[in-house]
């Protein structure tokens, strides 16, 4: 079987599994306890925080551990907005139309609550254009959320330009969902002028159910939950020490390996694109220019065909890929991301995502292409 759904989740790295197992077995005391064993657990958490701070070039105190990127994104969005609301200020917020559901749904909820929300369009490559952002910014804009790499298409946002614009034109905070970028592309939080940055363990070969939010600077956040004083009271609850230590290992491996991973992924990507371009039935939705498209995600449409049918036909041939993002794939609606990008319902309703890992081989890419060609041949008679 060839697994080509790495943007949905990745196989944990052997070193991550070793760390997770060892810490689970040996360090089980509560890191908030005042005895020595508690102190040892706390030291491991602090070391993990230091490793992550070094990898992302932020301060130790700016790393908050969470249960994953969904929580990090919720904490970023509601944390900022609730803090502003508690000061009685009018709040305007901006979100791109192609954010992951864990960001987008927060803004939809804010809108239902009466907050003024601007949804930013994207161009045909899935990119936010700086002029559009400039038009949307207002004196009372509190927060802008624009992701690094889109999880369905791989579109890479021009974060440096967008961050500079946000800071030049407003006092808004800049939130970036970095889940799909780390380990594949360079991450430059300072030069992007990012205030809040979310990551998830399981997209970088670390465990599921652990993630982080980088909270750069002094601005206030309201917590989502109330309880103990862990993570400065912003994330109460006993800390998941084994997963946090394993996450730090994953972040370190991902950042150290980023350049090599990029080269390997680019080669696999370009080869696969060459094969796909020989199939007239398939439209490539992902931007192919190196500056605009990440090397690990290729989104294609087999117009007229239900993507679930293609996914199952591919699975019969031993290739695992996906429809839209795993979180939305059971919704049976055209992809919101592809709709915003292509403005074409038929294309948006037939999107498929192939997501690669750097340790895949050119032979595997060839087998994916062959299985797709056979699947297209098998199914094209069904299109009306
Ligand atoms: N953001 C993006 C871009 C994602 O791809 C995902 C994964 O599904 C998430 C957020 C949510 O991450 P988690 O599964 O850790 O909640």
For the chain, the domains span 2-10+258-382, 14-256
Hey, whose CA ends up nearest to atom 5 of ligand 1?
Answer: 151
Q: How confident is the model at residue 332 (pLDDT cuts 50, 70, 90)?
A: low
Question: Taking the mean position of all CA atoms in its chain, how far away is CA 115?
Answer: 25
* Atom in ligand 1 nearest the alpha carbon of residue 180: 3
Question: Where does 57-210 have alpha helices with state H?
Answer: 69-86, 101-112, 130-136, 159-169, 189-192
Average pLDDT over residues 146-151: 98
Q: How far apart are CA 273 and CA 356, in angstroms?
A: 12
pLDDT (mean) for 298-304: 96
Euclidean distance between CA atoms 216 and 162, whole angstroms? 17
For the beta carbon of residue 212, count every other beta carbon within 10 angstroms: 30
CB atoms closer than 10 angstroms to residue 253: 19
- What is the predicted pLDDT for the residue at 61? 97
Please report which confidence band the pLDDT of residue 382 belongs to, taking 50, 70 and 90 as the band edges.
Answer: confident
Cα separations (Å) of 322 from 152, 312, 327? 10, 9, 11
State pLDDT tens for residues 42-86. 999 999 999 999 999 999 999 999 999 999 999 999 999 999 999
DSSP string, 274-307: HHHTT-TTEEE-S--STTTB-TTEEEEEETTS-H
Most informative mutation of 203, 243, 299 for ligand 1 (most atoms within 8 A of CB): 203
For the chain, the straight-line distance linking the first and the last C-alpha, in angstroms and rounded, comes to 31
Between 380 and 242, where is the model more confident? Answer: 242
Residues with CB under 6 A from ligand 1: 68-70, 100, 102, 147, 151, 177, 179-180, 200, 211, 325-327
Q: Which atom of ligand 1 is nearest to the CA of 209?
A: 15
List the catalytic residues: 327
3-state SS of 179-208 is CCCECCECCCHHHHCCCEEEEEHHHCCCCC
pLDDT of residue 329: 54
- Nearest of 158, 155, 154 to residue 166 by alpha carbon: 158
Q: What letter does residue 233 receive in the DSSP assignment?
A: G
Question: What's the CA-to-centroid distance between 384 and ligand 1, angstroms?
Answer: 35
Q: What is the pLDDT of residues 181-220, one digit of tens each?
A: 999 999 999 999 999 999 999 999 999 999 999 999 999 9
Please tell me the distance between residue 244's alpha carbon and the centre of ligand 1 in angstroms: 17
The C-alpha atoms of residue 43 and residue 49 are separated, in whole angstroms, by: 10
Closest to 48 measured CA to CA, from 237, 201, 227, 186: 201
CA-closest residue to ligand 1 atom 9? 69
Q: Could you give the CA distance from residue 104 to residue 101 in angstroms, rounded to a whole number?
A: 5
Query: What pLDDT, on a 0 to 100 scale, did the predictor assign at position 45?
Result: 98
Give the distance (Å) from ligand 1 centre to CA of residue 278. 32
Helix (H, G, I), strand (E, B) or coil at 64: strand
Fold match flag (2-10+258-382 vs 14-256): no
Instruction: Write down the pLDDT at residue 308.
Output: 95
Contact call for residues 58 and 107 (beta carbons, < 8 A): no
Residues 63, 216: Cα–Cα separation, whole Å? 8
Dist. CA 378 → ligand 1 center (Å): 33
Rounded-to-integer distance, Cα 42 and Cα 34, Å = 10
Q: Whose CA is nearest to atom 12 of ligand 1?
A: 69
Residue closest by Cα to atom 7 of ligand 1: 8
* Both tokens assigned to 217: 């600077």
Of 76, 178, 179, the one to substitute when testing ligand 1's pocket (max ligand atoms within 8 A of C-beta) is: 179
Q: What integer is the mean pLDDT of 92-121? A: 98
Q: What is the CATH code of the structural domain delimited by 2-10+258-382?
A: 3.90.1150.10
Whole-number Å distance between alpha carbons of 50 and 247 = 12
Give CATH for domain 14-256.
3.40.640.10
Tell me the β-bridge partners of 213.
64, 198
Substitution candidate for ligand 1 out of 8, 151, 208 with most atoms within 8 A of CB? 151
């Amino acid at each position: 079987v060839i697994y080509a759904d790495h943007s949905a989740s990745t196989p944990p790295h052997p070193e991550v599994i070793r760390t997770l197992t060892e810490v689970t077995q040996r360090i089980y005391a509560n890191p908030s306890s005042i005895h020595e064993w508690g102190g040892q657990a706390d030291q491991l958490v602090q070391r993990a925080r230091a490793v992550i701070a070094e990898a992302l070039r932020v301060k130790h105190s700016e790393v908050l551990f969470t249960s994953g990127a969904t929580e990090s994104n919720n904490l970023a969005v509601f944390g900022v907005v609730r803090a502003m609301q508690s000061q009685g200020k009018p709040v305007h917020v901006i979100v791109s139309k192609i954010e992951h559901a864990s960001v987008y749904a927060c803004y939809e909820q804010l809108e239902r609550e009466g907050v003024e929300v601007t949804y930013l369009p994207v161009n045909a490559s899935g990119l936010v254009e700086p002029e559009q952002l400039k038009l949307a910014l207002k004196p009372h804009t509190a927060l802008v959320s624009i992701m690094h790499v889109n999880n369905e298409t791989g579109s890479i946002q021009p974060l440096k330009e967008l961050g500079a614009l946000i800071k030049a034109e407003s006092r808004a905070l800049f939130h970036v969902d970095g889940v799909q970028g780390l380990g594949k592309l360079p991450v430059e939080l300072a030069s992007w002028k990012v205030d809040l940055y979310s990551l998830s363990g399981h997209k970088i070969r670390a465990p599921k159910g652990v993630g982080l939010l980088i909270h750069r600077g002094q601005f206030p956040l309201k917590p989502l939950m109330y309880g103990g004083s862990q993570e400065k009271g912003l994330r109460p609850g006993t800390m998941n020490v084994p997963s946090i230590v394993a996450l730090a290992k994953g972040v370190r491996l991902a950042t150290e390996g980023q350049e090599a991973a990029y080269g390997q992924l680019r080669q696999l990507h370009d080869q696969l694109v060459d094969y796909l371009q020989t199939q007239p039935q398939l439209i490539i939705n992902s931007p192919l220019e190196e500056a605009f498209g990440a090397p690990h995600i290729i989104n294609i449409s087999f117009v007229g065909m239900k993507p679930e049918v293609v996914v199952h036909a591919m699975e019969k041939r031993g290739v695992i890929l996906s429809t839209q993002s795993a979180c939305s794939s059971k919704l049976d609606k055209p992809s919101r991301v592809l709709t915003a990008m292509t403005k074409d319902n038929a294309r948006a309703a037939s999107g498929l995502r192939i997501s690669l890992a750097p340790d895949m081989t050119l032979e595997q890419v060839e087998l994916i292409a062959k299985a797709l060609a056979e699947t297209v041949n098998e199914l094209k008679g069904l299109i009306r």
